[in-house]
Amino acid sequence: MHCDAGSEAMLAESGVLAYTAFAAAGSVAGGREMMMLTGELTWIGLAIAVIVGWLAGAAGNWAADILPHLGVDRGQADRRGFPLWHYLTLPWYPFRKGVCPHCGELCPRRAPSLEVGTIAVFTLAWLRVPGDLTLLLVTWCYAIFLLTVLVIDLEHRRVLNVMLIPAAVAALLFSLLPGTPQPLNALLGAAVGLGVFLLLALIGRGALGAGDVKLAAVIGLMTGYPGVLTALVIGIALGGVAALALLITRRAGRKSFMAYAPYLSLGALAVLLGLLGGR
């Protein structure tokens, strides 16, 4: 077999590449111990988290553009035809004042913000959920759901059933996986979330919407019990601080309606990412 130096180098290179890819997959799956072996592997894992986070952020942009208009506004719902590049706004947004180079439409500032936010949360999850690829993927799924709920509630003051129902089904299925709150625990979390927020909604007389109550139940499925209590307490505290800030800066009256889902989502993310130590 003829084999000159060039093809030998190529063979060696592809061998190194294959090994690196294998090791990267192993490092994501095998956890911190393996990643500690060489510095490069950490960077590959980080790169994967950033790229997957960015793509997930684009999916969130698509959902935030389309889903609120489903069944309401055909014109907006038909905007599904845009290519992926329309939703990956980071490379061009700052240089074109938000005007899409592909279709000339003005994209909301939310688009690059959600991309950056998702990359940050996905990277954080990769750092915080070591050694378990399954758990990392589940956490990523929950994270993009919660971040998309956050932006849609800010923009439309709505938490969409079309997102809540699939999320509830997914969380129930995920509860069968090792490492997640197990089915009974997830259901207990959902019951507690639903109960507490139903009570708060009745006391608050309209301060909380039905969407917030349903979201609290879905968060309970994701975090289980007692994680759900931590998530809701953080959410309520953040919402309280935000309400106070709005009142002080007089951007809202005592009676004005506030989006609550963003704070619940942040509370849930804090628990899912183990930001309070332990999961």
Site residues (CB under 5 A) for Zn ion?
86, 100, 102-103
For residues 38 and 91, is the Cβ–Cβ distance under 8 A? no
Task: Please report how close the Cβ of residue 78 comes to Zn ion at its closest, in angstroms.
Answer: 14
Residue number with CB closer to Zn ion (100 or 160): 100
- Residue that has been written with the tokens 């070591």 in this structure: 130
Angle (CA) 140 265 110, round 5°: 80
Shorter beta-carbon distance to Zn ion: residue 104 or 278: 104
DSSP class of residue 131?
A: T
Would you state the structure tokens that stand for residue 218, as one six-digit string?
């879905």
**CA angle, 239 then 179 then 38, to 5°:** 100
Q: Phi and psi of 99, rounded to 5°?
A: -85, 120
Closest distance of CB 31 from Zn ion, Å = 40
- For tokens 């919402």, the residue is 239
C-beta of 165: minimal distance to Zn ion in Å? 29
- Amino acid 130 reads P
What is the nearest approach in angstroms of Zn ion to the Cβ of residue 147?
Answer: 21
CA distance 156 to 114: 16
- The CA–CA distances, whole Å, from 197 to 9, 154, 232 equal 63, 19, 9
Name the token pair of 176.
């069968």
Structural contact between residues 262 and 153, judged by C-beta atoms closer than 8 angstroms: yes
Contact 197, 212 (CB under 8 A): yes
Nearer Cβ to Zn ion, position 104 or 253?
104
Q: Which is nearer to Zn ion, 61 or 175 (CB)?
A: 61
Residue whose CB is less far from Zn ion, 108 or 195: 108
Measure the CA–CA gap between 88 and 48, rounded to whole angstroms. 16
In the complex with Zn ion, the residue whose CB is nearer, 103 or 162, is 103
Nearest distance from C-beta of residue 106 to Zn ion, angstroms: 10
Helices (H), 67-132: 74-77, 110-128
Residue 192: CB minimum distance to Zn ion, A: 43
Least distance from Zn ion to the Cβ atom of residue 111, Å: 10
Query: Between 79 and 157, whose beta carbon lies closer to Zn ion?
Result: 79
